[in-house]
Amino acid sequence: GEDVEQSLFLSVREGDSSVINCTYTDSSSTYLYWYKQEPGAGLQLLTYIFSNMDMKQDQRLTVLLNKKDKHLSLRIADTQTGDSAIYFCAERSDSWGKLQFGAGTQVVVTP
């Protein structure tokens, strides 16, 4: 499949905003997703965005999509210790028809 890339680590102070970035290469991507994995658990869907949208807001989460640059970001406002987890970006494209995941970004929230 095509590549989905993320930075591996992000450290953020409690109360600050976190921004996790992701780039992808498949131009036929239709939906893009953010999943959260807490220690010892499986992945949970956080949010998703359709490729014809630029932005989606869901409570403390804001997803921005720049389709021209194939860049996706997830902003978490007022980051809490419970937000410490690994965040995975994934894209679903017409070319493969299944989700392609990035390597995950470990977010550590410090008091």
Partner 1 sequence: NAGVTQTPKFQVLKTGQSMTLQCAQDMNHNSMYWYRQDPGMGLRLIYYSASEGTTDKGEVPNGYNVSRLNKREFSLRLESAAPSQTSVYFCASSARDGRNEKLFFGSGTQLSVL
The footprint of partner 1 on residues 25-84 (CB under 8 A) is: 30-31, 33, 35, 40-45, 48, 50
Q: Which of 10, 61, 64, 99 binds partner 1 (CB under 8 A)?
A: 99
Residue 24 CA to chain centroid, in angstroms?
Answer: 11
Helix (H) or strand (E) holding 93: strand 85-93
Asked if 102 interacts with partner 1 (CB under 8 A), we say yes
Name 23's Cβ contacts closer than 8 Å, sequence gap at least 6. 4, 5, 6, 69, 70, 71, 72
Q: Which residues bind partner 1 (CB under 8 A)?
A: 1, 4, 8, 30-31, 33, 35, 40-45, 48, 50, 88, 92, 94, 98-99, 101-104
